[in-house]
Copies of this chain bind each other. A is one copy, B any other.
Amino acid sequence: MEPIRKRTYSRVTREATELLGKLIRLGRKERKMTENELAGRAGISRATLQKIEHGDLKCEIGLFFELAALVGVKLFGTDDPSSTVSMHLGRIDDKLALLPQSVRTSVKVDDDF
């Protein structure tokens, strides 16, 4: 069956995703893990891991990032991702708050964390 909806992606997007997939594969091999091992750790099937390592654009971003973290790929180019990401998050929140149309939903309590 031919897919009914076909979407196009820019070259930058395709290459960035391909790069991330290859970094995951490289990290996995550097840690001497098999596809089954890494897939098991991540709680996904081997088929999905294969798609991600090949840069499949349709796969969940959460799976890409989770796998990257599992094999030590630095998402934002630093050695300690979590602290740096948190720092960035604060900066972005400040910037968004200053913007005219920013919503920053007044008194909404976070439900997520």
Interface residues of A (CB under 8 A from B): 7-13, 15-20, 22-23, 25-26, 29-34, 37, 43, 57-62, 64-66, 69-70, 72, 75-77, 81-82, 85-86, 88-89, 92-93, 95-96, 99-103, 106-107, 109, 111-113
Contacts and interface: CB of A to CB of B under 8 A. Distances in A.
A76 to B, nearest CB: 7
28 contacts: A8-B43, A11-B82, A12-B81, A12-B85, A13-B65, A13-B69, A15-B82, A15-B86, A16-B65, A16-B81, A16-B85, A17-B61, A17-B62, A19-B76, A19-B85, A19-B92, A20-B61, A22-B89, A22-B96, A23-B92, A25-B96, A26-B92, A29-B96, A29-B102, A32-B102, A34-B102, A69-B113, A76-B77
A40 to B, nearest CB: 12
Instruction: Quickly give the copy total for this chain.
Output: 2
